[in-house]
Amino acid sequence: MHVPLLTTLASRSDSWLQWTLWAIIMSLIMGWVARSRRHLRAAGYTRRLQHPPSTLIIGLVCFLFFAAIAVISNVFANATTTWLTTTVFVGFALLALPILGDYFAARHEVSEEGLRYGRLFGAGGQIRWADLKSVRFSAAMKWFRLESKSGTVVRISVMLMGLPVFAQLLLVHTPPEAIESNTLPVLRMTAEGNPPSVWGSEEVRR
């Protein structure tokens, strides 16, 4: 009677330990990414929004890790190697490609007139602050969504460097009615050097 109970408890303990370890690792990684956004840059780059090198490193590590597992699991095949497991590993490796692509494509530049933006897919362009009809922050997606009167939509990830200058210029030059009420305090905090958290609900302010 006691053996099944002990087995169940041991299984639950292992599961709890795995999830705890995963949460700790992810918190450390996201904390590293958050800190890397704050690195001081040369004067000529202060108005440029771009991913920190940590984004490139994470993308490369994820791609190489899962691609290597997919290859090794087939070269040294065993009873657990199936087309499904290979597909899953290849799928995870492919999920890293948009991260790598966004590292090179998501490079924007702000000025008193507006935002010059780049895109992962399609051509970039320019959007004027005065032409914005909606500015909204999505806590779930971790980005600022800017929409112009002509319908152009630009999303600015919270993982980018240069967010304080972006927020400062946006607050000064964008029509106040375009900024949603719950987004305004987020922009003000960002302008003061405290951008939104890249992981969880709130980031420790320093």
Q: Count other Cβ atoms within 10 Å, centred on residue 129.
A: 22
Mean predicted lDDT score pLDDT of the chain: 84
Least confident residue range of 2-16, 96-110, 131-145, 153-167 = 2-16
- Average pLDDT of 28-53? 76
pLDDT over 80 at 42, yes or no: no
What confidence tier does 202 reach under pLDDT thresholds 50, 70, 90? very low
Q: What is the pTM of this model?
A: 0.74
For the chain, the DSSP string reads -HHHHHHHHHHHHHHHHHHHHHHHHHHHHHHHHHHHTT----GGGTTEEB--HHHHHHHHHHHHHHHHHHHHHHHT--TT--HHHHHHHHHHHHHHHHHHHHHHH--EEE-SSEEEE--SSS--EEEEGGGEEEEEEETTTTEEEEEETT--EEEEETTSBTHHHHHHHHHHHS-GGGB-TTTHHHHHHHHTT-PPPSSSS-----
Query: For 153-197, how does the pLDDT look when each residue is reduced to its tens digit (9 = 90+)?
Result: 999 999 999 999 999 999 999 999 999 999 999 999 999 999 998
Q: Does 96 or 44 have the greater pLDDT score?
A: 96
Highest mean pLDDT among 16-30, 54-68, 113-127, 135-149: 135-149
Q: Count other Cβ atoms within 10 Å, centred on residue 80.
A: 7
pLDDT (0 to 100) of residue 75? 84
pLDDT (0 to 100) of residue 3? 53
Q: Count other Cβ atoms within 10 Å, centred on residue 176.
A: 7
- Average pLDDT of 70-94? 85
What confidence tier does 17 reach under pLDDT thresholds 50, 70, 90? confident
Question: Could you tell me the residue ranges of all domains in the chain?
Answer: 112-191
